[in-house]
Amino acid sequence: MTMTCEDFELELGAPALSALARAHLEGCASCRETYEVVALAALPEVTAAERAALVGLSTSALSAWRAQDRRRDVLSRVASLALAAGLGAVLATGVMWKARPAAVAEVPALVQPVAAPVLLEPVVPDFSGDAFNSGDDEVSWEVSWPLVTEGDL
């Protein structure tokens, strides 16, 4: 049984070449070139130093996750308070508007600066998980559920 060049190429990246692939490699110059290029492109085996760098990662990642959650909770509370304050200000403005002396209404320059429309829509940032990754907009977008399938041939 023999192997085609296409089949050989698809074995690259597998943990080890099959006996068939090795036999094909012996007799095919094109695949030897392919093999050499992929070997140049591949990174070396993971070293002991690299493995050592992963020690304790699960603990530090969990701490980072919890810190992130705490930050999110605080910001959510701040946002709620800001929203409540904004609504309160709008209500207060309405009450003051109704209670204003009639004479004030006759002086337009004093009335116009009341900026009620701004208070009606307070800017509340989005404190969902995505918002924390301001530098990774693309990532957040691309992992939305379900996975997007753009870019197919």
Partner 1 sequence: MPGGAGEPPTDGALCRAFLAGDAQAFGELVRRHEELLLRVLRRYASTLDETRDLVQRAFLQAFQAARRALPRLAREADEVPFKPWLLRIAINLGKNHLRDTSRWATVPVDAAEGRRGEGASAQELLERAEQEAAVRKAVLFLPRRQREVFTLRIDGALPFAEVAQALGITEGNAKTHFHHAVKRLKEETRKP
Question: Is residue 43 a contact point for partner 1 (CB under 8 A)?
Answer: yes
Using the rule CB under 8 A, is 142 a contact of partner 1?
yes
Nearer residue to partner 1 within complex by CB, 121 or 152: 152
Residue whose C-alpha is closest to residue 85's, from 28, 141, 58, 123: 123
103 makes contact with partner 1 (CB under 8 A): no
Query: Considering the rule CB under 8 A, would residue 145 count as an interface residue with partner 1?
Result: yes
Which positions lie near partner 1, rule CB under 8 A?
6, 9-10, 12-15, 33-34, 37-38, 40-47, 49-51, 53-54, 57-62, 64-65, 68, 128-130, 133, 135-136, 138-140, 142-145, 147-153
